[in-house]
Amino acid sequence: MERFVVEGGRRLEGTIRPGGNKNAALPILAACLLTDEPVVLQNMPDIRDVRVMLEILEGLGASVERLEKNVVRIRTKGECLPTPDPQLSRKIRASILLAGPLLARCGAANITKPGGDVIGRRRIDTHLLALENLGAQIEVSAHEYRMSARTLKGKKMFLDEASVTATENAVMAAALAEGDTLIYNAAAEPHVQDLCRFLNSIGARIEGIATNSLSIRGVDSLRGGEFYVPSDHIEVGSYIGLAAVTRSELLIEDAVPEHMYAIRLMLEKVGVELRIEGNNIRVPKDQELRVHYDVGAAVPKIDDGPWPLFPADLLSIMIVMATQAEGTVLIFEKMFESRLFFTDKLISMGARIILCDPHRAIIVGGNRLVGADISSPDIRAGMALLLAALCAKGESVIHNIHQIDRGYEKIEERLNPLGARIVRERDE
């Protein structure tokens, strides 16, 4: 295990480029099982979750070549193996994304119940219902989902929730199913769009991308190709938060500003201003963070929701920003009942937070945080705690940083050249 030792209170300055979208990279890797021709993926983030997924694919018979930094070539050819490595599958949530491709390729999938962040109940029901609609027979045991399908056939379906990964599983399975599939109440997040565009680039026929209604016409086979994984809007939001709480000026390159509309609305509630410069975003220095109250001086609410609303994965970052903004806000986390529990670590650093219940917290901001000995419970909370440590007075130690490594590539090597002081040490 490793830890970060962080010197707080330093200004940052310079240019940073976000990595490829983790939540697009993982389903795209799973989708490589749908073709036996080589696929080259560029801007692939070199993070723990991606490395585990590549190991799983190799165990299923795929060849994986790292052509250069952040570029991999994958080819799945030969015997079809329907059972991903159980131990590796337990390490990441994304292992559930192998169900759709394996059903389409092998006619069977034996999926160990996946791992991932412990942020509350994370339903699998929508995945199973969608795949059953396409013709899969599914048996559920204490540790595994066993699926089989003689033939997948397209069907009209309405998802009982706009689940990102369930939508992705259904789309991948439907790409090689017989006939047409219509998915209503589909998720439309940028990473779902990226998966659909990747599939179309190798021969799939998907329409309605970026909407909540997807139409998939099944094809007999898919070909190989090349695809560039777009930037991660969650990482962009993290860097915006970093610049704001440290009063720094950062230029974020290749930031895909069209993904930032809802994020900008929430940032404005705590007084953050951005400058859009083509495909880049600049965060000006010395911004005085101050809560903008609603009409009648009502306390504003910062809440998450399905795309195109504010993404749940940025709520932890927003909480740290709110602790540094003069005024009071209500944080309302609608999706996961354990995500807000990391606020006890911010309280130990001097934050004024009232946790009302598992989904709501009141933040009274404007006071300086102080360094502390803390531990990262999940990817997004881990990055939020790193932001808190960087703006705090004094030194902080962050344990369990493998959680941060799951979503952010070599973060200390990217922030230290900008003026941060983050040291990675072995945690005894």
| CA count, 13 A, side-chain hemisphere, 360 | 7
Q: What is the DSSP letter of 247?
A: T
> Cα 332 to the chain's mean position, in Å?
19
Cis previous bond, 308, omega within 30: yes
Catalytic residues: 117
d(CA 123, CA 111): 15
Q: What is the DSSP letter of 230?
A: P
Residue 428, SS3 per DSSP = coil
d(CA 2, CA 401): 6
Residue 286: how many other CB atoms lie within 10 Å? 8
Q: State the amino acid at position 45 in one-letter form.
A: P
Q: What is the DSSP letter of 309?
A: S
Helices marked H in 278-352: 315-323, 343-348
Kind and range of the H or E run holding 226: strand 225-228
d(CA 13, CA 285): 9
Task: Determine contact, residues 145/99, Cβ cutoff 8 Å.
Answer: yes
